Amino acid sequence: MTYCVGLRLNRGMVFMSDTRTNAGVDNFSTTRKMFTFHVEGERMITIMTAGNLATTQALISLLEERSKATSDRDPTILRVPSMFQVARLIGSTLREIISESTAEGATSDAGFRATVIVGGQIKGGPPRLFLIYPEGNFIEATDDTPFFQIGETKYGKPILVRRYDPEMSFSEAVKLLLVSFDSTVKANLSVGLPFDLQTYEIDTFRVHKQIRIEQDDPTYQSISTGWGDALRAAFDLLPSYEL
């Protein structure tokens, strides 16, 4: 599995992804699942992927190759005029890769499916955040649903639902994501450190911060330990159920 979250804030966006990839418990390694397409001062696009690694690597490679081709006829992720068109382009590329794998040749029980979160901003438009399905269609984050999760989403959802606030600072949002990721890592072997973190500040069209958070990161360590203690303390304050 995988765990990635994209969060829309009033001041921008925060993206976090884990780096564990596995084909069975005896075959796992570390791989980046967060990718950036960027034209300084004009557009800033962040993509996170979950699912079949062959599919997601092919997706990123195709997007990259096509963005370097000289032909003006094809739309590329660095040229399409809006974030909506970016999502359409990724969706159609993803569908193309999956249908190629599925059409002929060996099939895989695990399937060739992948899911993508893409967020960013292109000059002239607002920042937008999308969740793209393996079928190529997609949905957009709204004020009611201000974040998307892909991969192993369940363990880390309760704290996101309860503590998310669009007015959060970037530091608070990263803390929230670290708690959510920590709960997931503790419950599921298929999600693992290090985490990739990226923040985007509205109307800047460049990376705000980009950090790889390792297991021994002192703030992560104190959040991870502190959260267990804080949970226990919070629990003890609740009334008991008298029988």
**Contact positions toward a second copy, by CB under 8 A?**
154-155, 157-159, 161-163, 169-172, 174-176, 178-179, 183, 186-187, 199, 208-209, 211, 219-220, 222-223, 226-228, 230-235, 237-243
Give the CA dihedral 160, 165, 169, 170, nearest 10 degrees.
30
Q: How far is the CB of 188 from a second copy (least distance, A)?
A: 8
State which residue, 56 or 183, has the beta carbon closest to a second copy.
Answer: 183
Whether a cis peptide bond, with omega within 30° of 0, leads into 194 is yes
Q: How far is the CB of 177 from a second copy (least distance, A)?
A: 9
Q: How far is the CB of 69 from a second copy (least distance, A)?
A: 36
Please give the order of strands across the beta sheet that includes 12-17.
Answer: 147-151, 3-9, 12-17, 195-201, 209-213
Q: How far is the CB of 223 from a second copy (least distance, A)?
A: 5
State which residue, 39 or 159, has the beta carbon closest to a second copy.
Answer: 159
- Following DSSP, what letter does each residue of 8-66 receive, concatenated? EETTEEEEEE--EEESSTTSEEE---EEEEEETTTEEEEEEEEE-HHHHHHHHHHHHHH
State which residue, 143 or 242, has the beta carbon closest to a second copy.
Answer: 242
Rounded to an integer, what distance in angstroms lies between the CA atom of residue 223 and that of residue 220?
A: 5
Nearest residue to 3 (alpha-carbon basis) of 140, 184, 219: 184
Helix (H, G, I), strand (E, B) or coil at 116: strand
Q: How far is the CB of 11 from a second copy (least distance, A)?
A: 12
Beta-bridge mates of residue 128: 120
State which residue, 28 or 227, has the beta carbon closest to a second copy.
Answer: 227
State which residue, 81 or 226, has the beta carbon closest to a second copy.
Answer: 226
